[in-house]
Amino acid sequence: MSELRIEKVWKEYGDQIVLEDVSLTVDSRAFVALVGPSGCGKSTFLRMLLGQEQPTRGNILLDGAALPSEPGADRGVVFQRYSVFPHLTVLGNVLLGKELTASRYKARLFGAARRSALDEARQLIAEVGLAGAENKYPAQLSGGMQQRLALAQALIMRPKVLLLDEPFGALDPGIRAEIHTLMKRLWHETQMTVVMVTHDMREAFTLATRVVAFERRRDRPEEKERYGATITKDISIWPPRIAGAASIFSPDRDGPVTSLGHSRDDLAPLGDI
């Protein structure tokens, strides 16, 4: 299981309120896209899910237990800037998580454990479309290939939750479409829950099972720091996308979708998108 529950979370930096009274339940194996204007706290929210930052008030639960106060193997992350190690090969980058977990001080695996980890890493490299590039360094890869590598690096530990912070924003449209197809297939085939921050509404509705919008309810320029952003729209995609379900609504379906949406103020349904 990989259910996330966010209960009345606030995030403040001194006198500045970034997020206020955020509550959200993310079902196991859901794919949730977070959207909203720049500076509304989406990335801050993602960092709290990762464990890099702590809420000022409120609780974040993973499978009913308090979220650990620091990043762990149960949460993978991919950032917009390629989060790979330039001095390691493709294989070395993917293998590193296994080595650090098994031997924190030496960061090395030996014998049967190393052979097993190498087999798993090579299989994952092939799954993300990098077969044959195992011995290349990041500088020898295109931007799209580097993001494929970052995905493999995050997935090698089989996280319960995968966090994506605008990971495809810097890619060309054609490459981005290829990565979208890959991302949907990986989500379809694994047991993980995905939470993604994006500014691209098309990307959000193409990939996600739900689209959640953050914004400030009150936006008075002279009092901007007194109010934080919160969830104002929570839209479920219809027909629903269900990970692992074999149907015409499989993750490879990119056709038009509609939504069943509502605001947190109980506004009228949004209707067709």
pLDDT at 194 over 50: yes
In a domain, 183, yes or no: no
Residue 252 covered by a domain = yes
Same domain, 14 and 55: yes
Query: How many whole angstroms separate alpha carbon 138 and alpha carbon 159?
Result: 23
Per-residue pLDDT reduced to its tens digit, 168-186: 887 888 888 888 998 998 8
Q: Clarify whether residues 66 and 3 are in a common domain.
A: yes
Tell which of 97, 130, 158 closes a domain: 158
Say if 174 falls within a structural domain: no
pLDDT at 204 over 90: yes
Strands of 53-155 (E only): list them. Answer: 57-62, 65-66, 75-79
In a domain, 226, yes or no: yes
Last residue of a domain, one of 137, 158, 179: 158
What pLDDT band is residue 272 in, cutting at 50, 70 and 90?
Answer: very low
How many distinct structural domains can be found in the chain? 2
Looking at the predicted structure, is the pLDDT value of residue 255 above 80?
no
133-137, 141-145, 241-245: least confidently modelled range: 241-245
**Residue 68 and residue 91 in one domain:** no
Same-domain pairing of 150 and 214: no
Residue 170 lies in a domain: no
Give residue for tokens 């989500």.
187
Structure tokens of 145?
Answer: 């290939």
| % of the chain beyond a pLDDT of 90 | 53
Would you state the pLDDT for residue 104? Answer: 61
Query: Greater confidence, 47 or 219?
Result: 47
The answer to whether position 104 is within a domain reads: yes
| pLDDT score of 241 | 73
Sequence letter at residue 140: Q
Average pLDDT over residues 41-56: 94
- Confirm whether 263 is domain-assigned: yes
CATH number at residue 17: 3.40.50.300
List the domain range (segments joined by +) for residue 114: 85-158
pLDDT recorded at residue 248: 33
Token output for 4 = 């996330």
Domain membership of residue 8 (yes or no) is yes
Q: Are residues 25 and 44 in the same domain?
A: yes
Is residue 55 scored above 70 in pLDDT?
yes
Name the pTM for this structure.
Answer: 0.83
What's the CA angle centered on 150, arms 178 and 196, to 5 degrees? 70
